[in-house]
Amino acid sequence: MFGLTNKRAAITGAGSGIGRAVALLLARQGAHVTIIDINEDQARGVVEEIEAAGGKADMKQADVSSQQEVAALFAGFPSLDILVNSAGVSHIGTAESTSEADFDRLYKVNVKGVYNCLYAGIPVMKKGGGVQGDRKDSGAGGGKDGGTGGGKGGVIVNMCSIAATVGIPDRFAYSMTKGAVYAMTLSVAKDYLKEGIRCNCISPARVHTPFVDGFLQKNYPGKEQEMFEKLSKTQPIGRMAKPEEIAGLVLYLVSDEASFITGCDYPIDGGFTKLNN
């Protein structure tokens, strides 16, 4: 189950955090992974990790907010079966305390960055690939009876957030961007059913990544552990997620086993959205 042998995957923001965990897991399952990140050194490091473990990977340095860079990047793909839009930035602030510069910065990466990759990546999926071409009975997105069996199609997973659907204090601009990601996911899923392209999104709660550690060091010097525990306990399960746990859900959604799933948002939040009463 969950094999990705001979599949071509592109993952943005894969130099660290959730994107890195996704890249490592998809490569371990047999996919040829392209690491896309603005930080060339981090991207190269992930490629080396994958190759050291016997996997296949390459890297592309790019700013996802630049359509020119993204278009040039995807133009070089011979095929594309899997696209994971994981690149993103965060910001703390209300509508009053969010500057125009910060609002624009979040929009450029979290919204326009996803759009740019969809704009450039979908045509590559349409002309070749076929992430579920071997399944003969799986309907739309997975076989000759209604999906990618003709050698076209693919799977897209967008990294959304619980902030798209749940009010979170001081996350005005970030929540705005993730609401847009959610809406883009539904639109793409609807528009490309006939091309055998599935599109879903994942909405994590807090995930323990290097970003969290950096945020605590910058904003709560000397109180990092205290604040880490406080943030962890906002999830009813009592802790933050691990990047590898998010990667596991991505793997399921891009695999043949999920060939009947499209146009869905998957909370992975330790009970935050349903149990935080």
Q: Which residues are the active-site residues?
A: 174
Q: Which two tokens stand for residue 46?
A: 């992930």
Q: Report the alpha-carbon distance of residue 146 to residue 93 in Å, rounded.
A: 46
Taking each helix axis as running N to C, give the angle between helix 172-191 and helix 113-127, from 0 to 180 degrees, rounded to the nearest 10: 20
Please choose, from the candidates 23, 119, 251, 276, the residue with its C-alpha nearest in 3D space to the C-alpha of residue 266: 251
Q: Report the alpha-carbon distance of residue 148 to residue 177 in Å, rounded.
A: 31
R_g of the chain computed on alpha carbons: 18
Residue indicated by tokens 């793409």: 188
Asked if residues 98 and 91 have their Cβ atoms less than 8 Å apart, the reply is: yes
Q: Report the alpha-carbon distance of residue 93 to residue 24 in Å, rounded.
A: 33
Q: What are phi and psi of 13, to 5 degrees?
A: 65, 30
